[in-house]
Structure 1
């Protein structure tokens, strides 16, 4: 029975890892559909390359920082046959795979904010620093027992910080890192007139944008449900709450944006970002409310960023992941309470401290990492490269070479 259970857990987590891996295709397609045609190839290459660098540094350094475990032992030990420390059937290995796909979501989030004007290699260097050190510090503190933070919260507030599937650890952290990166990078050339008014840059391909959102939505049920990490911990409540939050985000963004397709598809993602933290403890109506609030917040904050605050966050990743993730972390402490139909076992005070701490640490990390790179190797394409587009400037081919080549 123990063997069957462990084997089942391995398969369960592996399926979750593959579903979250597929979400990186969604990140790529969402960016491809949003940026201009001259930057579509760059979006695809960035997401895949960031994933590879993230996985490598997370394997060598990051996972050890977060959990005190490293894989620099023989394969017999890794599959649980060479002594203590690793579970049978390679369970710890698929757990690493699963969590590595979460870690790689951070640079995928950042990629959307800095699109169309960022240098390629400095971005990969930033990814290595963030996933090798800064993200694991947050992960180990809030998802693990490292560094004593959760023990302190339990002693101080009566409950630990609760973030079941990463509203704060992944999304808020990634979104606030992205804000630090965008502030260092500056706005795209031609985004604002001399008087400060906005020059509209519409999405290049709504079908790609929509397909990216759909892929992310489907993969999100692996992101959330499989965060249980064992079969005996799985809960249908997480699946239903994820669904209801997605629906809430769609409906409110649909209404407030007057059916704008970019906002509607991102509204679904806003609801899913926000519900991650409390998806295992909320009532479905609470999850619907959380998703609805997130949908409204995303549309409002995206417009404020672009029009009023002059922050050229191309895909709106700070509103979507940073603000909606922060909101989800806080609202888990509200709608998770038994008085509002939740399962309880959560403290609003602990949620506030953990959520604000994770967001502020993300902003500081993003501003520091991209600030150092800006002052040393530079992080921005030169004006001519930006005008030509990252596809030709960096990758020497466009997304539509037959159309773009003269005489063809």
Structure 2
């Protein structure tokens, strides 16, 4: 029976890892559809290379920093529990590699290729794992301190803060340091860059949306922990974000396809505890905030 449970859990988490891996194709096409035509190939190459660099950085350094364990042992030892530890690494790697993908979209058309790769190594090997370990592994006594102060630990079921927040904060820092895209301001006037391909942008958004159910539901990391509540909350937040972006964004296709992503980002942390109506409200607020902040930022030099 234990062998069956171990095998089932391993397969369950492997499917989650594959779904989240597929999300990186979504990141690629979302960025391709957003940047100008001359930078589309660069965006595709960058996302795939990011994943390769992130894999090595996380395998050799990052995973050990976060969870104080590694894989420099015999292959026979790695097969314990049907290789569950290896698949868990694969699953969490797809989360870690999402950080450079998020940053890539945030600083699109602003940074050179190789400096970005070097920065990604530092982020995935050290910066992200330190934060990840504090929240999801209790490193440095951080969770215990939060619980002592507030009466409850910091709850982030599927990475609203650990993954998406971290990626967003780093991307914002990079944007502030790098400044606007070249050609954004001409003769003192702000020039808007329209998405180069709505179909590619939409394809990326759909891939991310579908993969997100693996991101959220399979964060349980065991079949025993599967929750239909997480799935439905993810669905409701996605719908809320879409409809808010549709209405507030006045039918703009770029806003509409980013709206569900805003809702899904917002619901990750509490997707295992929200009521579906709460998840819907969360998605509505997130979708509306996305449109409002995008419009506000687009007016800044």
Smaller-chain TM-score range? over 0.9
2:17 maps to 17
Shift of 1:143: 1.1
Alignment partner of 1:162 is 2:143: no
Structure 2 residue aligned with 1:301, among 284, 293, 296? 293
**2:54/2:120 contact within 8 Å kept:** yes
Shift of 1:158: 1.2
Alignment partner of 1:205 is 2:176: no
Shift of 1:274: 0.2
**Distance across 1 between alignment mates of 2:70 and 2:297:** 41
Structure 2 unaligned blocks of 5 or more: none
Structure 2 residue aligned with 1:254, among 222, 237, 246? 246
**Distance across 2 between alignment mates of 1:166 and 1:132:** 18
SS of 2:162's partner is helix
Q: Give the aligned length.
A: 301
**Distance across 2 between alignment mates of 1:208 and 1:189:** 23
Alignment partner of 1:99 is 2:92: yes
2:281 maps to 289
Q: For 1:4-403, list aligned pairs within 5 A.
A: 4-80=4-80, 88-195=81-188, 197-307=189-299, 309-310=300-301
Structure 1 unaligned blocks of 5 or more: 81-87, 311-408
Post-superposition Cα deviations, 1:221-240, rounded to whole Å, max 9, x if no partner, equal 00000000000011000000
Shift of 1:117: 3.0
Post-superposition Cα deviations, 1:295-334, rounded to whole Å, max 9, x if no partner, equal 0000011111120x33xxxxxxxxxxxxxxxxxxxxxxxx
**2:64/2:70 contact within 8 Å kept:** yes
Per the normalisation by structure 1, the TM-score is: 0.73
Larger Rg: 1
**Distance across 1 between alignment mates of 2:129 and 2:259:** 28
**Distance across 2 between alignment mates of 1:205 and 1:174:** 24
SS of 1:32's partner is helix
**Distance across 2 between alignment mates of 1:204 and 1:225:** 33
**Distance across 1 between alignment mates of 2:181 and 2:276:** 41
Post-superposition Cα deviations, 1:232-267, rounded to whole Å, max 9, x if no partner, equal 011000000000000000001100010000000000
**2:30/2:203 contact within 8 Å kept:** yes
Post-superposition Cα deviations, 1:343-377, rounded to whole Å, max 9, x if no partner, equal xxxxxxxxxxxxxxxxxxxxxxxxxxxxxxxxxxx
Shift of 1:193: 2.9
**Distance across 2 between alignment mates of 1:224 and 1:274:** 11
- RMSD after superposition: 0.8
Post-superposition Cα deviations, 1:100-138, rounded to whole Å, max 9, x if no partner, equal 000000000000111123111100000000000000011
Question: Any runs of at least 4 consecutive aligned residues in structure 1 with deviations exceeding 4 A, and if so which?
Answer: none
